[in-house]
């Protein structure tokens, strides 16, 4: 056999082996691309963004989460849970906000719609945190001054209690600045988060957050895609347990069934307020 023929055969063999390895990879990529095309922009974004990594080496610390008070007076009550939280303020904020979104064991204490997701979160050098939520936050929340304020306050106070670096909060909906959350609450400005010195009081204290109008420097432009975001509720350790469940109210309103509740592994509960029978539920999501 001439020498050149041997070389040619060897070359062809290498080519065949290379193709055998590469073609399945190419096929998988094409499938993924086709799948992504079918999904909505937001779903695709969720697919591509990395879940918030939970480092098991992170020390479990006591995190304070603000959900609706179990006594049904539409105030916020803190719940302390042990979570492995990062020391990085951005990562830590994402972790606590995802836990807040995942919700308490007691669905009636929810302050945010169950299908709302955190799409992006970052902190500007001046201490303004920018939290970008999916559209569900605006569309699925019960319209009203009280319900919208409860939602924003639960976000602001949870950040205040766990991430001291955050001074102000700007809320975006799907990357855009919106005028109101659901027709009432002003989202054009920032919400004061760190009310220096006034530690979150237990239970009944009125929400301390106030809104400030947008100042040009503190309000970023609307287009704010940022890669790390969205953790499905499974990527964060299960939400914490909660104060004893309030007695079932006397059927004054009809909460929508919430089927998507993750089953949380109870951690140390701290019950801030004694439950009482109440006529309404805070969040009828």
Partner 1 sequence: MALYAAPALFALTGFAFSFQAPVASQAPASAASPASSSAVLPAQNPALQAPLASRSGLNIVVLDPAHGGTDTGARGTGGIRESEIVLDFSAQVKRALEGQGFQVLLTRQGNDNPSFDDRSAMANAQLGAVFVTLHIASTGLPGTVRVYVNSDLPSNSDPSGLISWDRAQMPFQSLSRKLADTVQGLLAQKFKGSPNNAQTAAIRQLRTTAAPAIAVEISSVVVDDRADLDRMAPGVADAIATGVAMFKPSFVVPVISSGGTP
**Of the candidate residues 85, 150, 159, 166, the single one contacting partner 1 (CB under 8 A):** 150
Binding segment for partner 1 (CB under 8 A), chosen from 20-28, 78-86, 180-188, 195-203, is 180-188
Rounded to whole angstroms, the Cα distance separating 81 from 211 reads 28
- As a whole number of angstroms, the distance between CA 133 and CA 173 comes to 5
Rounded CA-CA distance 11/148 in Å is: 68
Cα–Cα distance, 229 to 221 (Å, whole number): 18
Among 185, 236, 238, 242, binds partner 1 (CB under 8 A): 185
CB 246, CB 255: distance < 8 Å = no
198 binds partner 1 (CB under 8 A): no
Of these, 58, 88, 186, 258, which contacts partner 1 (CB under 8 A)?
186
Query: By CB under 8 A, is residue 113 in contact with partner 1?
Result: no
CB of 271 to partner 1, least distance (A): 22
CA dist., res. 243 & res. 273, Å (int):
8
225 is a site residue for partner 1 (CB under 8 A): no
282 scored as a contact of partner 1 (CB under 8 A): yes
**Closest separation in Å from C-beta 246 to partner 1:** 14
The correct pick among 51, 142, 220, 262 for binding partner 1 (CB under 8 A) is 142
DSSP 5: H
For partner 1, what does the binding mask look like between residues 56 and 85, x meaning CB under 8 A? ------------------x-----------
Region binding partner 1 by CB under 8 A among candidate stretches 46-54, 81-89, 98-106, 179-187 = 179-187
State the first-to-last Cα distance of the chain, in angstroms, to the nearest integer.
Answer: 79
Helix (H) or strand (E) holding 66: strand 60-68
- Specify the residue, 271 or 284, whose C-beta has the smaller distance to partner 1: 284
Range 231-260, binding partner 1 (CB under 8 A):
252-254
Q: Does 139 bind partner 1 (CB under 8 A)?
A: no
For β-strands 60-68 and 76-84, DSSP reports them as antiparallel
- According to the binding rule CB under 8 A, does residue 183 interact with partner 1? yes
* Secondary structure in 3-state letters for 127-156: CEEEEEECCHHHHCCCCCHHHHHHHHHHHH
Closest approach, Cβ 21 to partner 1, in A, equals 57
| Buried/exposed 246-258: b ≥16 CB within 10 Å, e otherwise | beeeeeeeeeeee
Residue 88 has which token pair?
A: 């990085």
What is d(CA 146, CA 185) in angstroms, rounded to the nearest whole number? 9
Kindly state the smallest distance separating residue 179's Cβ from partner 1, in Å: 6
Select the residue interacting with partner 1 from 27, 35, 184, 268 (CB under 8 A): 184
Residues that bind partner 1 (CB under 8 A): 74, 142-147, 149-150, 152, 179-180, 183-186, 188-189, 191, 206, 210-213, 215, 252-254, 278-280, 282-284
């Amino acid at each position: 056999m001439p020498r050149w023929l041997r070389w040619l055969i060897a070359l062809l063999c290498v080519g065949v082996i290379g193709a055998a390895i590469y073609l399945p990879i190419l096929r998988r990529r094409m499938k993924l691309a086709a799948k992504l095309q079918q999904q909505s922009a937001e779903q695709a974004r969720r697919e591509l963004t990395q879940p918030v990594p939970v480092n098991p080496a992170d020390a479990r610390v006591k995190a304070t989460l603000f959900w609706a008070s179990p006594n049904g007076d539409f105030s916020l009550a803190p719940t302390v849970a042990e979570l492995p939280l990062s020391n990085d303020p951005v990562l830590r904020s994402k972790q606590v906000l995802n836990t807040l979104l995942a919700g308490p064991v007691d669905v009636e204490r929810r302050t945010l719609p169950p299908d709302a997701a955190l799409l992006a979160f970052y902190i500007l050098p001046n201490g303004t945190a920018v939290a970008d939520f999916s559209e569900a936050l605006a569309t699925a929340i019960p319209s009203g001054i009280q319900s919208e304020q409860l939602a924003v306050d639960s976000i602001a106070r949870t950040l205040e209690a766990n991430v001291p670096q955050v001074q102000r909060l700007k809320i975006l909906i799907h990357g855009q600045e919106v005028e109101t959350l659901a027709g009432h609450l002003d989202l054009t400005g920032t919400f004061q988060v760190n009310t220096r010195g006034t530690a979150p009081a237990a239970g009944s204290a009125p929400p301390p957050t106030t809104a400030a109008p947008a100042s040009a420097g503190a309000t970023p432009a609307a287009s704010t895609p940022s890669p790390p975001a969205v953790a499905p509720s499974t990527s964060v350790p299960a939400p914490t347990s909660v104060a004893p469940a309030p007695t079932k109210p006397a059927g004054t309103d009809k909460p929508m069934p919430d089927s998507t509740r993750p089953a949380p592994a109870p951690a140390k509960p701290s019950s801030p307020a004694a439950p009482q029978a109440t006529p309404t539920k805070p969040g009828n999501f």
